[in-house]
Chains A and B, each alone.
Chain A
Amino acid sequence: MKRPTVSLAGAWHFPEPQVLALEGGTQIWAFDLPGQHIAALELVLPTSLSTEPRPIEGVATVALHCADEGTRSNPDGRISELLELQGAALHGHASQSHTSLGGDAPAHRLPAVMELLAEVVTEPSFEASDIEHHVEMQVAAFDSRVASPDWVAKQALRQVLFGRDSREGRPVAGTPETLKAISRDDVLAWHSTQWRGGNATLVVAGDLAGLDLSSALSPLNRWGGDAACADTAPQAHRPTQIVLVDMPDTVQATIHAGGLTVGRRHPDWAALKLGGHAMCGAFASRLNLELRERQGYTYGVGGGFSARQDDGQFFVGGSFRVEVAADALRRLLDGLALAQPFSDAEVQDAKRYLIGVAPLANETASDIARQAAVLAAVGERASFVNEHFAALELPTPSEVTSAFRHHVHPDATSVAISGPASVLVPALQAAGMDPVVIS
């Protein structure tokens, strides 16, 4: 039977939020999404981890996870029970550039959920026993992470790219040493200086029909004050390295490679997103076809460009059986050299995927809220999404090729590997690479 032809519909657009400001200064982005009966909330606090005092790194994470253990009005876990009764679940993450506290709940219950969320945000009780519990949980989580080859390689690459003296080069949720130093006073101080309404953004997405938005949001009306902003010094350029963390018992080499690049506001950004997809983002990407489908070296290779606050990062990684890891890395770096320019078909497929998948990637209220929160956190407007999709249409294959060659080069790509050093070091040396074993 003949292969059917495909007719794709017209352009999709990211919805435009209604933007308001509460009395205390909190910006509200409200997305009315008919039919989305499970609403999503994302509260963005633009507080940087570089503000954490170095001896108590992890305090942002502990404060976040402790916040819904109890409030002054509903102590000893009652606040969480009340949220559960409303069908709400909270989640949160303290990242390098911001802290987000979000939740999903039935849209028609938003007024009650907002009252409870406001309690969590403005009057957490931070009991000493709860802090002690969450410190223990974070220490245990750290111990689990350092046993995971993937996290070890990821953290090693961060250390190479940013250096241990930079907050970004150290673990996001602290280390056992810094976590165990966190006191109740530290958590209270972090909350009172960093969880401030004046520079926060709250994204609300869902079927808002029949909802009196300003009344629903009123519990946060008087939440104000500005958080102190950290000085963000531009990241110093660091030398390219291949580093290896010895994990003697592992059966694979986990390879993370990459480097810092320009970010979302650079004229090459759209071309880089297309090139990254063609190189290592798609299942049918160059590197996945070579290293998985042709060589059978790995379960999969993935990566691409991601935007950061002011710049961007290129990343590519995968796990390879130890015997072939050196050859896999050689092929991977050779691939990044882009000896063969991107073809018309590769760039066309990347455009069709990155633009075409947008409606699926933004199908639920939660998808929309999370995308909007990422933009709010870096000071962009929601309309950036549509500007970016328009920009993706434009680059020619030769522009994608030259942007990729300009911003990514094997010699400027750092590599972090976790795996058994006794096998990997000689193999990498034999393949002409010179790894530095780090702890």
Chain B
Amino acid sequence: MTDGRRLDYNLVETTLDNGLRVCVQPDPVAPAVAVNIWYEVGSFDEDPTRTGFAHLFEHLMFQGSNNVASGEHMALVEANGGSVNATTSTDRTNYFETVPRGALDLALWLEADRMSSLAITAENFAAQREVVKEEKRQRYDNQPYGDLLELLVAQHFPADHPYGHLPIGSMAHLDDATLDDVQQFFDDWYRPSNARLVLSGPVEADEAFDLAQRYLGQVPRRDRPDHATAPVPALPSRDTTTHGNVPHPLVYLSWNTPPAAHDDHLPLDMALSILADGHTSRLHKAVVRSRRLAAEVHAASLPHLRSTSITTLMARPTDGISTDVTAAALVEELARFAEGGPTDEELARAIAQYERDWLLQLATVEGRSDLLNDAWLTFGTPGHVNQHAAELAALNVDVVRDAVRTHLLATPSTLHYLPSEVSL
């Protein structure tokens, strides 16, 4: 698609004296400016016996600082017609607000105040610990298949591996945590040198750098913290069966795949799209429509920055078909794909779909600033966004086929998730 291939955002970068890296993407016609900060800390950086801290901060960061009352950060942004939120993954915690241009100073001031003087008090900690417990209940414990991700991760990483637990963490660990532990985690990771700021919207680079310096430049410099090096997990593929109060049997096949920045990820994404994205996909045609061994098939990736990622194929077997039979059919079709590769048209369709989704993410300043920060952390430069369309255009059927041969022909781990009354 020509629009994507012409993509050329003007990206201007600088590093403040305190180590904060700043990238500005001026967009004079955007309706607002996105302020997007990625702290390079996630559940990967936690002590496996003290998990959930990175995510706890996603909450504590809205509880006030020297000049901001508890909850005031969100209230101020909203009252100025902005949107604000934060999320935590294995490798980073992102904080973002999109505000009218006239409130950019305020947004940067708010970020600076909490970066330098977050109010880590017993009261805030106790209240947010309860909110996090409710979040875990609502999003995991109270949902059918709510422990699925945890079970999947456990097939690939031992519990003491940095990727061996989910960002939501252990509620027991949070109960055991002291205020000093929490303060220490903040001091270790919430430093200008461990953060990247992307501004996208109607602001020129020079002006944006001045504002970043005026507010965030005042946060004291501290050395950039080191991140652990993660071993490649040596877990063999395994076959796990679990029962739960769920409506349908599901089967997940999953493989160890390379870290997020590896060249094979884009061709693997295309392969997954060709195999399992929608009713035109290979596996839908073969396993759902033709062989009637599954009612639906999907694929997903769980990328990791510093070690092995996880790639999955999932199917819901047709009534009366066992998860083993469905899983075997997926493996057979995958082998067929690895043998012959995709057709030119299949790849062209996958690329066209990927490109549209990607351009839709770039269409808002919030989505664009987050993708720029993602590229910066994953590939070392926000400018990777400008190269991405060319990488996509350079793909061919052989590269996609070879990526599948290299990474998805090993025996997968298999997870059978069955309703309580059904046996395998």
Q: Do A and B interact with each other, yes or no?
A: yes
**Cβ 8 A contact of B137, one of A86, A106, A144, A252:** A252
Among residues 310 to 356 in chain A, which have CB atoms less than 8 Å away from a CB atom of chain B?
Answer: 319-321, 348-349, 352-353, 355-356
Number of interface residues of B (CB under 8 A): 75
Contact of B81 among A69, A360, A362, A365 (CB under 8 A): A360
B246 at interface, CB cutoff 8 A: yes
CB-nearest residue of chain B to A297: B134
C-alpha spacing A5/B75, complex, angstroms: 15
Q: How far is the CB of B405 from chain A (nearest CB, A)?
A: 25
Cα distance A142–B142 when bound, in Å? 18
B352 touches A36 (CB 8 A): no
List, in ascending order, chain A residues with CB within 8 A of B98's CB.
Answer: 360
Which among A7-15, A217-225, A268-276, A376-384 touches the partner chain?
A7-15
Q: Is the CB of B74 within 8 A of A84?
A: no
Q: How far is the CA of A137 from the CA of B280 in the complex (A)?
A: 16
Query: Is the CB–CB distance between A148 and B3 below 8 Å?
Result: no
B363 in contact with A148 (CB, 8 Å): no
Return the chain A residue nearest B349 by Cβ.
A84
Q: Report whether B360 and A87 are in contact in the complex, using a CB–CB cutoff of 8 Å.
A: no
For residue A387, CB closer than 8 A to chain B, the reply is no
Name the residue of chain B whose CB is nearest to the CB of A277.
B78
| Residues of chain A contacted by B353 (CB below 8 angstroms) | 84, 87, 89
Cβ of B345 under 8 Å from chain A: yes
Asked if B80 and A356 make an inter-chain contact with CB atoms under 8 angstroms apart, the answer reads yes
Question: Is B112 located at the chain interface by the 8 A CB criterion?
Answer: yes
Q: How many residue pairs bridge A and B at CB < 8 Å?
A: 205
A423 to B246, CA, bound (A): 22
Given A284-B71, A296-B127, are A321 and B133 also a contact pair (CB < 8 Å)?
yes
CB contact list, B310-335 vs A, under 8 A: 316
Q: What 0/1 pattern do residues 94 to 112 of A give for CB contact below 8 A with B?
A: 0000000000111010000
Given known contacts A140-B248, A283-B78, A356-B80, is B141 in contact with A148 (CB within 8 Å)? no
Residues of B within 8 A of A5 (CB): 105-106
Given contacts A104-B356, A148-B144, contact A320 B134 (CB under 8 A): yes
Q: Please give me the residue from chain B that is nearest to A8 by CB atom.
A: B102
Cβ-closest chain A residue relative to B126: A296
- Judge whether B100 and A356 touch: CB under 8 Å: yes
**Known interface pairs A7-B102, A84-B349, A144-B248. Does A349 touch B1 (Cβ–Cβ under 8 Å)?**
no
Interface string of B355-370 (1 = CB under 8 A from A): 1110110011110000
Contact with B along A118-151 (1 / 0, CB 8 A): 0000000000010001001100100110111100
A144 touches B102 (CB 8 A): no
Q: Is the interface of A mostly helix, strand, loop or mixed?
A: mixed
Q: Are A77 and B279 in contact (CB under 8 A)?
A: yes
Verify if A426 is at the interface (C-beta below 8 Å from B): no
Give a binary string over B47-86; 1 marks a CB under 8 Å from any A CB, 0 the rest: 0000000000000000000010011101100111111100
- Please tell me if the beta carbons of B134 and A299 are within 8 angstroms of each other in the complex: yes
Residue A35 at the chain B interface, CB threshold 8 Å = yes
Residues of chain B within 8 A (CB-CB) of A105 are: 356
Instruction: Establish whether residues A250 and B279, one from each chain, have CB atoms under 8 Å apart when the complex forms.
Output: no
For A171-186 the 0/1 string (1 means CB < 8 A from B) is 0000000000000000
A87: chain B residues at CB < 8 Å are 1, 352-353, 355-356
Alpha-carbon distance A133/B143, docked complex (angstroms):
26
Residue A23 lies at the interface, judged by CB distance under 8 Å to chain B: no
Interface residues of B in 80-118 (CB under 8 A from A): 80-84, 98, 100-103, 105-106, 109, 112-113
A357 at the interface (CB under 8 A from B): yes
Bound complex: CA of A5 vs CA of B106, how far in Å?
7
Contact B142 A149 (CB under 8 A): yes
Contact B134 A298 (CB under 8 A): yes
Asked whether, in the complex, the Cβ of B363 is within 8 Å of the Cβ of A38, the reply is yes
B247 near A140 with CB under 8 A, answer yes
Q: Which of B31, B130, B247, B278 contacts A363 (CB 8 A)?
A: B31
**Does A251 interact with chain B (Cβ within 8 Å)?**
yes
Tell me how far the C-beta of B270 lies from the nearest C-beta in chain A, rounded to whole angstroms. 13
A16 at the interface (CB under 8 A from B): no
| B residues in contact (CB < 8 Å) with A | 1-3, 29-32, 67, 70-72, 74-75, 78-84, 98, 100-103, 105-106, 109, 112-113, 126-131, 133-135, 137-139, 141-144, 215, 218, 245-248, 278-280, 285, 288-289, 295-296, 316, 345, 348-349, 352-353, 355-357, 359-360, 363-366
Given contacts A284-B75, A357-B83, A366-B363, 10 further A-B contacts (CB under 8 A): A8-B102, A9-B102, A85-B345, A85-B349, A89-B356, A129-B289, A137-B295, A348-B79, A349-B79, A356-B81
Give chain A's interface residues, CB within 8 Å of chain B: 1, 3-9, 12, 35-38, 69, 77, 80-81, 84-89, 104-106, 108, 129, 133, 136-137, 140, 143-144, 146-149, 249-252, 254, 282-284, 289, 292-294, 296-299, 319-321, 348-349, 352-353, 355-360, 362-366
Q: Which 5 A-B pairs have the closest CB atoms?
A: A356-B81, A296-B130, A359-B31, A284-B75, A4-B105
Q: What are 30 A-B pairs at a CB distance below 8 A?
A: A3-B109, A7-B102, A8-B81, A8-B100, A38-B356, A38-B359, A81-B280, A85-B348, A87-B1, A87-B353, A89-B357, A108-B2, A129-B289, A137-B296, A143-B247, A144-B247, A250-B142, A251-B137, A251-B142, A252-B134, A292-B134, A293-B70, A297-B134, A299-B138, A349-B75, A352-B81, A356-B81, A359-B31, A360-B364, A363-B364
